[in-house]
Structure 1
Amino acid sequence: MRILTGVSPTFDFLPLSVVSFGSTVIAEGCDPASSISWIHAWTVSHGIVTQVREYSNTALTVTRIGNVVAGRTAEIKPSHCPSVWESQFSGRAGKSVPGLVLAI
């Protein structure tokens, strides 16, 4: 944050929940004192983090857009994109936040 804004963050990244969906790991936390909620989405391959996405003050819904059957992805049907996870702490920041969908 300091590199991007010139200001050092005044909060700690303490996860309040951590869940995984295959190779995707989601960690979520909130600092009500700073009015900041955050979500990290990590992609892990062979025990190594290969991609990191960070969302601040954003509500996130994780949706699965295909079923894996016997190691192969089955046909994706437009009407079948179930939500497998939704953020819980974005409302604790005390303000309205935008929402995003992360498709896995």
Structure 2
Amino acid sequence: MSLTASTVSLLKFFRGAQTFPPSSSSLIFQELALSQEILEDSRTKGVVTALYEALKIRDAEAIQKILAPDLEWWFHGPPSHQFLMRLLTGEQESDFRFVPHSISAFGPTVLAEGFDQSRSIAWVHAWTVTDGIITQVREYFNTSLTVTRFGNTDQSDCSSSIASLHCPSVWESSLPDRVGKSVPGLVLAI
């Protein structure tokens, strides 16, 4: 394991071997926080990637270990497109394959996007991973999805609490040209 110079400096700081001016120590803590965020994103993305691998080979035992028994499910799309629910509940054998073209993690939220060109279907799954298992899924079919991070801005002159809210876009689906003629757009705040 290789330590960055900042991490070594941070260790020396905590051992009392060296002191830092406030600006240097705050930069080190920011880097450490960013490293923790990247590590968490990697872990949550790994859980979702493992789920898609288990789905691909229809490994029911692995799927049960990855999904919470009380999985919260939200679906947006035509009822005929509830392929994942049918697959996981064993209600009906489906030939639909969930092969993600992209997987992105934002803390506990992991977004996976895929396409089935032969059926003109695009899908997005927004998974929530808690303590290494998936506790929530939001499915979107043939819908353009924009994900925003919900938070406060640093505007001290705002008198209204609503005026101080800011929702920067952190992810946007990329539908292929052949999917749907008119696709509704939705916004998901995380």
C-alpha displacement at 1:66, in angstroms? Answer: 1.2
- Mapping 1:54-93, distance limit 5 Å: 54-66=139-151, 77-78=164-165, 80-89=166-175, 91-93=177-179
Is the 1:91–1:97 Cα contact (8 Å) retained in structure 2? Answer: no
Deviation of the 1:10 alpha carbon: 4.8
Identity %: 62
Which segment drifts farther, 9-18 or 20-29? 9-18
CA distance in structure 1 between the partners assigned to 2:105 and 2:120 by the alignment: 26
Q: Aligned letter for 2:169?
A: S
Q: CA offsets per residue over residues 3-54 of structure 1, 9 Å max, x none?
A: 5xx9865532110000000100000001111010000000011111010110
1:96 aligns with 2:182: yes
Q: Report the CA distance between 1:95 and its aligned residue.
A: 1.9
SS class of match (2:151): coil
TM-score of the pair, normalised by structure 1? 0.77
In terms of fraction of residues, the more helix-rich structure is 2
State the partner residue of 1:30.
115
1:49–1:88 Cα change, 3 Å: same
Deviations, residues 55-101 of structure 1 (Å, cap 9, x unaligned): 0000000000116xxxxxxx8723x2100000002644142211110
Structure 2 residues not aligned, in runs of 5+: 1-81, 153-160
Moved more, 82-91 or 6-15: 6-15
- Say which SS state the counterpart of residue 93 (structure 1) adopts: coil
Contact 2:102 2:114 survives alignment (8 Å) = yes
How many residue pairs end up in the alignment?
Answer: 94
Report 1:4-15 matches (<5 A). 9-15=94-100
The runs of 5 or more residues in structure 1 that have no matched partner are 68-74
8 Å Cα contact 2:142-2:180 kept in structure 1: no
TM-score by length of 2: 0.44
The two structures, once aligned, show a CA RMSD in angstroms of 2.3
